[in-house]
Structure 1
Amino acid sequence: MASSACVTSVPAPGGADELRERARGALLGLAVGDALGAPAENMRPSEIRARWGRITGYVAEHPAGTDDTEYAIFSGLLLARHGSALTVAHVEAAWHQWIADLDVPFRGAGFSERGTLENLRRGLAAPISAQHRHAWSDGLAMRAAPFGVFAAGRPAEAARLIAVDGSVSHDGEGIYGGQAVAAGVAAAMGGAPVDGVVAAALSAVPEDSWTSRSLRRAVAVAHLGERAVRSAVVVGGYPWTDLAPEAVGLAFGAYAAARGDFRCAVLSAVNMGRDADTTGAVAGALAGATCGVSAIPAAWASAVEAARGSCLPSMRGHHVLDVADLLVPEGEAA
């Protein structure tokens, strides 16, 4: 079980305008980081340098989010519907309604999503549906930001809710990765400084977990640069790049090195390669919640359109900003 330690340094959420600004920053930041990192997914820094020198903006002709953005929309809509009353049954039903029971292709999904989809279609229910070979993947971390937005200033509640969501698709370190991100975003939504955001993330996961060790190592060397962060957390020689402890460590390392600055955080994350769309998305969500939507460069923000449904056809037409607005508690909206 994750630690139940309280994060006393997290301030109360600000007023309506500030809360909306941070909520929009978190989810638009996720989508921007996803689109920036997508072309560099599964690449090494040397390969990135050989192809682009250094990524300083969109390198795709038509930048777009991947499964990271569409699954975050999926979880955001589910959370907006049920709020703190969310149950495993709600999550499982949504997987069936919006994904598993549809006779359409699901392109671009990660290993954990594919494994979950296969299990659900075989009639397996949670938590058995999460028993596949990639339950430790970063597929939960990539969709965790909406929980931090909803539970602004309440990292423990964000961590509790993302564990409910994740029980259908993940286990162990996969759950912990999602909890670290959700708690970190919740702290940032409450106005916590960078160190407080990191502390909130660490408080949400077991101290002796791989996720905790990876996150602490990354943040400890963040001031030394991207190479040091990669050396601290990347599992050399492992063929897949979707390890939750690794991706979460890289994202928090980039965020800490940038001291929360949006542009620096997402560019650092994507230029480290590996699962660059997910690390970019997580770093973007953290920095967006810290700085607000106005900190996202206009040229990057304007490129984010409604989801195309490339991975999840049922999410086509939904925009992350609309989801962010849905997650602002009633009575808090401007």
Structure 2
Amino acid sequence: MGGTAGTVGGRAEQQDFRSRVRGTLLGVAVGDALGAPVDAADVEEIRQRCGAEGVVDLVPAYGRRGAVTHLTQLTLFTVDGLIRAQVRRDTGAWHPPTDLHRAYLRWAATQRDWGPDERRKEDGWLAREEWLYVRRDPTRTLLLGLGDDRMGTPDAPKNPGADGPEAAARSAPFGLLVGWEPQLVVQLALECATHTHGHPVACLAAGAYAAVVHGLARGDSLDGAVQHALALLAQRAGHEPVSDALQQALGAVRQGIPSPARVAGLAGAGTADGVLAAAVYCALVGEDVRHGLRLAVNQDGPSAPTAALAGGLLGALHGDTALPPAWLAELEGRPTILELADDFAMEMTQGPALHGPAASSPGWLARYPRA
């Protein structure tokens, strides 16, 4: 795995980048929280529970409003793994898929343990956040994939038949590697998807989603970012299901007023390609972030992953200030998400000043240990 962290230019560019990083991570979490209470319900059930318009605001799940699922948890550990990969590069060790796998194993420990082990300083600060030590309906595929220390690879993936959207839903942070070439972003997301989801559709959907976020983080329009992702996909064997799904999403934009049936038709059986297509469609046709996320939730397909994917796209496109503040105010883990987002932005823009051969910040290395 090649690639460099890259740098973001002057102060205005750095501020814009931080806003997009915050927007992406908060967008994933807000979409996840909006869809979580009705994730297994069809649109009629949603309307029976929430009224004729369906979900229009945060609804309680897991005992509170604004609760997130394993999709947000894993997205945060993706960010943690990417920062750790950059820090570990100083040691001469440079294999980001390994660092991401270790980060996902730290998430898996939160699903087994009662709480953080303060003695394990090498785990870093995110693994000591007590609110993450809850099970929020992780799929059996995730738990099996991370149930031992063996790392999936493209040649020997974990769960080779798993084609669900969970790997894609944790892959937005790969797209925030704006200093990387797009094809390397796709490759990293694809390789890291194999840690839990080995089916080509799941892996390619994760790569395509990361590519779209990458384009948005660099300032592209959503349509332009999708078109670029399609060009990158075309270079990969077996891309047709994911490419076709994205083309259908683009075509659906021109088919009239958005409807739950159109979103559900794109989502199909809830495989990664369909959920990605539905999320892209909702982000494209939404009048604003609120409207796009409501479209993603109020449909027959899986609400939480569709809205999480759409939220990541809308946050990367518009930045954090476009997200509904009333939803952010109640979002579970918001302080942690913001802290991690700002750490990521600082690492990607100021990394050499935080760690390197000449000097290193002890505080930074305590947060993101090289071990």
TM over 0.5: yes
**What are the residue-to-residue correspondences of 1:134-213 with 2, within 5 Å?**
134-151=161-178, 154-171=181-198, 172-206=200-234, 208-213=239-244
Counterpart-to-counterpart distance in 1, 2:344 and 2:95: 14
SS in 1 for 2:67: coil
Corresponding residue for residue 126 of structure 1: 152
Corresponding residue for residue 350 of structure 2: 331
Give the CA deviation at 1:228. Answer: 5.2
- The answer (yes or no) to whether the contact 1:247–1:278 under 8 Å persists in 2 is yes
AA at the equivalent of 2:183: A
Is 1:99 aligned with 2:108? yes
C-alpha change, 1:124 and 1:37, in structure 2 (3 Å) is same
Corresponding residue for residue 77 of structure 1: 80
Is 1:112 aligned with 2:129? no
Q: Which is higher, the Rg of structure 1 or of structure 2? A: 2
- The answer (yes or no) to whether the contact 1:100–1:117 under 8 Å persists in 2 is no
**Share of identical aligned residues, percent?**
26
C-alpha change, 1:152 and 1:320, in structure 2 (3 Å) is farther
Match of 1:268 among 273, 295, 299: 295
Counterpart-to-counterpart distance in 2, 1:230 and 1:219: 12
Unaligned runs of 5+ in 2: 1-8, 115-133, 354-371
Counterpart-to-counterpart distance in 1, 2:208 and 2:262: 18
Deviations 1:123-163 (A, max 9, x none): 64423873326521111111011111233685333212212
C-alpha change, 1:303 and 1:245, in structure 2 (3 Å) is same
- The answer (yes or no) to whether the contact 1:219–1:257 under 8 Å persists in 2 is no
Greater alpha carbon shift after TM alignment, 131-140 vs 262-271? 131-140
- The answer (yes or no) to whether the contact 1:146–1:327 under 8 Å persists in 2 is no
Counterpart-to-counterpart distance in 1, 2:210 and 2:221: 16
Is 1:59 aligned with 2:59? yes
AA at the equivalent of 2:320: V
Give the CA deviation at 1:101. Answer: 9.8
- Give every structure 1 segment of 4 or more consecutive aligned residues whose post-TM-superposition deviation is greater than 4 Å: 100-103
- The answer (yes or no) to whether the contact 1:270–1:276 under 8 Å persists in 2 is yes
C-alpha change, 1:96 and 1:72, in structure 2 (3 Å) is closer
C-alpha change, 1:124 and 1:15, in structure 2 (3 Å) is closer
AA at the equivalent of 1:112: T
Match of 1:306 among 330, 333, 341: 333
C-alpha change, 1:152 and 1:288, in structure 2 (3 Å) is farther
- The answer (yes or no) to whether the contact 2:30–2:308 under 8 Å persists in 1 is yes
Unaligned runs of 5+ in 1: 1-11, 308-317
Give the CA deviation at 1:212. Answer: 1.4
AA at the equivalent of 1:330: T
Match of 2:283 among 255, 262, 273: 255
Counterpart-to-counterpart distance in 2, 1:248 and 1:82: 27
Corresponding residue for residue 320 of structure 1: 337
Greater alpha carbon shift after TM alignment, 218-227 vs 188-197? 218-227
SS in 1 for 2:81: helix
AA at the equivalent of 1:89: T
Counterpart-to-counterpart distance in 2, 1:91 and 1:295: 29
- The answer (yes or no) to whether the contact 2:213–2:312 under 8 Å persists in 1 is yes
Counterpart-to-counterpart distance in 1, 2:109 and 2:161: 18
Deviations 1:264-322 (A, max 9, x none): 21111111242211111110110011111110111011112327xxxxxxxxxx72222
Match of 1:15 among 7, 13, 16: 13
- The answer (yes or no) to whether the contact 1:306–1:319 under 8 Å persists in 2 is yes
